[in-house]
């Protein structure tokens, strides 16, 4: 990581992307990342894995659809909101309840990777807003087998959580007859403009997800009984009701960082772990950022911060401060690595082997 003294001279003056990752303009005023058109992409995991139904809809349309759905099916909830205890989904919860006046059901997929701060934020926000809240977990032994197998064989541990989250939303929307699912992910706050190679680590389809499970089942003692018990989770698309709309609400809003943060601090007892402001809901995120840093010399946090700079959601000074406080500082494992390895049920030797095999350490400091 750049030291404070030479930080700016090693980065684009406009978006703070590191100079080794981009082509700088001759005057340093912008770079290949923040210049318009050819280098800017709008890609998200959601578009590939679980697409949204945003096209052509407005906020007024969504409110109307939710209210009509509740009346038609005579149930208690207008919509279902997937929450993680992170900043974006917590603000969406507030917006739906307080601004739109809807009565949502809040649902969370709980994994062994969740931070205590995230659990606190979910309990606190749903309680203060008077929103019913359901937490769902898949079998912890099965989940750990998936996470361990995916990490050792494919170098990533996120796909089981992605799948669990989307399954949880579909399951409870179906159980309660809710026809509108609201998510807090979008191209505005997810990893838009990102090079597509960042997505190569994660499953981009249900078929790929199940192929990976089949490939690791024998080695990681995943039994047929476990696969049968989790059939609906592993094969979500085979039964999910196509009439249920999935809306990524931030795409339809002005997503201003400062305004969102002020709301959270005013309305709730908002908490986040040190160094995890952007992804405070997952204790493995610093490890993912470390892996990305080993391969690219920067992590997804750099991309999120650069996107916020380009959207004028934060100032250059704030971007500088966030990078110094949150970006990995060197090619050394994060401070909570022992807790992470315990979650994954692997030792440090195995962890180092995976990093060297899949993440191609560059040693860029």
| CA 108/CA 172 separation, integer angstroms | 10
| CA 300/CA 290 separation, integer angstroms | 10
Are 188 and 308 in contact by the 8 Å Cβ rule? The answer is no
- pLDDT (tens digit per residue) in 123-146: 999 999 999 999 999 999 999 999
> Which of 36-50, 211-225, 342-356 shows the lowest per-residue confidence on average (mean pLDDT)?
36-50
The yes-or-no verdict on residue 253 having pLDDT over 70 is yes
- pLDDT (tens digit per residue) in 326-338: 777 666 788 899 9
- pLDDT (tens digit per residue) in 36-47: 654 444 444 445
- Average pLDDT along the chain: 86
| CA 119/CA 306 separation, integer angstroms | 28
CB atoms within 10 A of CB 103: 16
Its pTM stands at 0.88
Among candidates 162, 185, 175, which has minimal Cα distance to 80?
A: 175
User: C-alpha distances in angstroms, 18 versus 29, 125, 295, 296, 324?
Assistant: 13, 37, 14, 10, 13
Give pLDDT, residue 8. 66
Domain ranges of the chain: 45-252
Among candidates 215, 108, 223, 238, which has minimal Cα distance to 161?
A: 108
Q: Does domain 45-252 match CATH 3.40.50.300? A: no
- Cα torsion through 352, 355, 358, 361, rounded to 10: -120
The yes-or-no verdict on residue 365 having pLDDT over 50 is no
| CA 95/CA 100 separation, integer angstroms | 6
Are 42 and 187 in contact by the 8 Å Cβ rule? The answer is yes
From the number of C-beta atoms within 10 Å of its C-beta (0-12, 13-18, 19+), residue 347 rates as exposed
Give pLDDT, residue 303. 83
In the chain, what's the furthest Cα-to-Cα distance? 63
């Amino acid at each position: 990581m750049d030291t404070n003294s030479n930080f700016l001279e090693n980065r684009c003056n406009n978006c703070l992307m590191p100079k080794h990752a981009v082509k700088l303009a001759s005057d340093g005023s912008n770079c290949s990342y923040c210049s318009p058109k050819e280098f800017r992409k709008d890609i998200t995991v959601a578009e590939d894995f679980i697409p949204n139904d945003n096209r052509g809809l407005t906020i007024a349309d969504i409110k109307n659809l939710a209210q009509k759905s509740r009346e038609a099916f005579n149930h208690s909830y207008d919509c279902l909101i997937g929450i993680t205890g992170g900043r974006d989904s917590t603000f969406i919860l507030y917006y739906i309840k307080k601004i739109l006046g809807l009565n949502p059901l809040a649902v969370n997929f709980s994994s062994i990777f969740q931070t205590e701060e995230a659990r606190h934020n979910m309990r606190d926000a749903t309680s203060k807003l008077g929103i019913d809240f359901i937490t769902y977990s898949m079998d912890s032994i099965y989940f750990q087998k998936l996470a361990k197998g995916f990490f050792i064989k494919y170098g990533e541990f996120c796909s089981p959580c992605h799948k669990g989250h989307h399954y949880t939303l579909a399951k409870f929307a179906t159980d309660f007859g809710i026809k509108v699912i609201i998510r807090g992910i979008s191209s505005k706050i997810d990893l838009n403009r990102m090079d597509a190679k960042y997505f190569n680590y994660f499953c981009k389809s249900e078929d790929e997800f199940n192929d990976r499970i089949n490939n690791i089942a024998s080695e990681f003692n995943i039994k047929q009984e476990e696969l049968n018990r989790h059939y609906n989770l592993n094969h979500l698309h085979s039964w999910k009701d196509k009439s249920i709309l999935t809306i990524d609400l931030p795409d339809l809003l002005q997503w201003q960082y400062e305004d969102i943060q002020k709301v959270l601090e005013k309305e709730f007892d908002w908490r986040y772990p040190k160094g995890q402001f952007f992804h405070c809901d997952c204790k493995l995120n610093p490890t993912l950022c470390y892996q990305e840093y080993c391969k690219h010399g920067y992590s997804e946090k750099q991309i999120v911060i650069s996107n916020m700079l380009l959207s004028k959601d934060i100032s250059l000074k704030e971007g500088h401060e966030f990078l110094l406080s949150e970006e990995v500082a060197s090619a050394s494992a994060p401070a909570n690595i022992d807790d992470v390895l315990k979650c994954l049920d692997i030792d440090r030797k195995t962890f180092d082997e995976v990093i060297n095999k899949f993440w191609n350490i560059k040693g860029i400091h």
